[in-house]
Amino acid sequence: MLENIYISRHGFRSNWVDSSITTSVTGMSRDPPLAAHGLDQAQELAKFLANPPPGEGLPVPDLVFSSPFYRCIQTASYTAKRLGMPLKLEHGVQEWYSQVLPDTGLHPRPGHAEHLKQFFPDILDEQYRSTVYASRSGESVSELQARCDLFIDAFVNRIEAEYPNVKTVAIFAHAASAKEIRAGCATTSFYRRKLPSTSNDAAQGEPGTNGTSTQPTANGTKSTVGCWDCLWNGRADYLTQGEERNWGFQDIILNAEGHVISDRGDGNPVKPGDDQPIGLAPGMEIYLTREDVYSPLKRGTAGPGQDIERAVLSMTSESSAKDTRPPALQRKASGAMIESRM
């Protein structure tokens, strides 16, 4: 069973040093590489994850995942190499873009491992395919949250079905897609799955009791997210220069109506199918244990009353029909659903 999730943000971007840098060797717009300082941060982060501080009882990742944007792959590759394991690319945690302005094209979307391996030879897992895809037409904040909820639900179940012995994963993402309170460059948040509560645990204050934990956090506080405890958020004590360029949702710029300001797309003509796939990747439906409110709305196929804002967490009535999911997930359908916002 998956028990622990590290979520790390990419390192310091080169376009923060030189604003004229808009791409990397990929040639894709809005895909700048790390600055030299960001590469240093990535190495410090890799050392922290591969060799956790003694005495803290932190697990070492069994699998490493990354957003397919160049800066995230750069950051994650140091950890994957240090651990001697392949890096799996996951579009479900890709960068967040606000909704595109009309007639300006679509937002960029990185390719898959077979395309990006030319820049990262001998490190990318070419067999792994993403669980979820973000819409290239952009997302509102509520749509971003729905995408992240959809991802973590399907992803956790997928990992448990495809990699049953894995207990800990590391995910390298962006500040918004990580859904952290605040995230600086190359900082890390740590989530631990809540264990079933018992009266003895509650009396003794053991970790995992009723969604709480007595383990220390980086800033002296602890937050609980769905069926996961966030034991620390945005940890940066392993970085030589500490936290830098932190970002949180309170930093979003809104227009006069209180909506996120729309952004320009890539300027290219849009052809039918250019925005596909959106939401759950084909075949990933078997791992879903909640209603998917993201994919139908972003595909323009939402039914009457299907509102992204209501964030439905229950199983759909259709789930009582023939269940084609793996047996392990069928056993979960009656109870413990994974409801995590990250």
Show contacts of 25-29: CB within 8 Å, 24+ apart. 25/70, 25/119, 26/70, 26/110, 26/111, 26/116, 26/119, 28/70, 28/108, 28/110, 29/108, 29/266
Q: Which domains does the chain have, with CATH numbers?
A: 4-332 (3.40.50.1240)
Which sign does the torsion angle of CA 9, 14, 15, 17 carry? positive
State yes or no: pLDDT of 68 exceeds 80: yes
pLDDT surpasses 70 at 256: yes
* Residue 257 pLDDT level (bands cut at 50, 70, 90): confident
Which pLDDT value is given to residue 298? 67
Q: What is the pLDDT at residue 79? A: 98
Mean pLDDT for the stretch of residues 260-289? 93
Cα separation, 313 vs 293, whole angstroms: 9
* pLDDT above 90 for 226: no
Residue 192: strand pairing partners: 4, 229
The pLDDT, as a whole number, for residue 290 is: 85
Does 7 have pLDDT greater than 80? Answer: yes
- What's the whole-number mean pLDDT along residues 278-292? 93
pLDDT of residue 250: 78
Read off the pLDDT band of 196 (50, 70, 90): low
| pLDDT at residue 258, rounded to an integer | 78
pTM to 2 decimals? 0.81
Query: Worst-scoring range by mean pLDDT, 147-156, 256-265, 290-299?
Result: 290-299
> Of 190 and 329, which is predicted with more confidence?
190
Average pLDDT score, the chain: 81
Q: What pLDDT is stored for residue 302 in this prediction?
A: 42
Give the residue-averaged pLDDT of 33-48. 98
% of the chain beyond a pLDDT of 90: 65
Who has greater pLDDT, 293 or 21?
21
What does the pLDDT read at residue 208? 32
Q: What pLDDT score was predicted for residue 324? A: 46
Residues 119-151: b if buried by 16+ CB within 10 A, e if exposed: bbeebbbeebbbbbbbbbbbbeebbbbbbbbbb
Mean pLDDT, range 63-89, rounded to an integer = 98
pLDDT for residue 29 is more than 70: yes
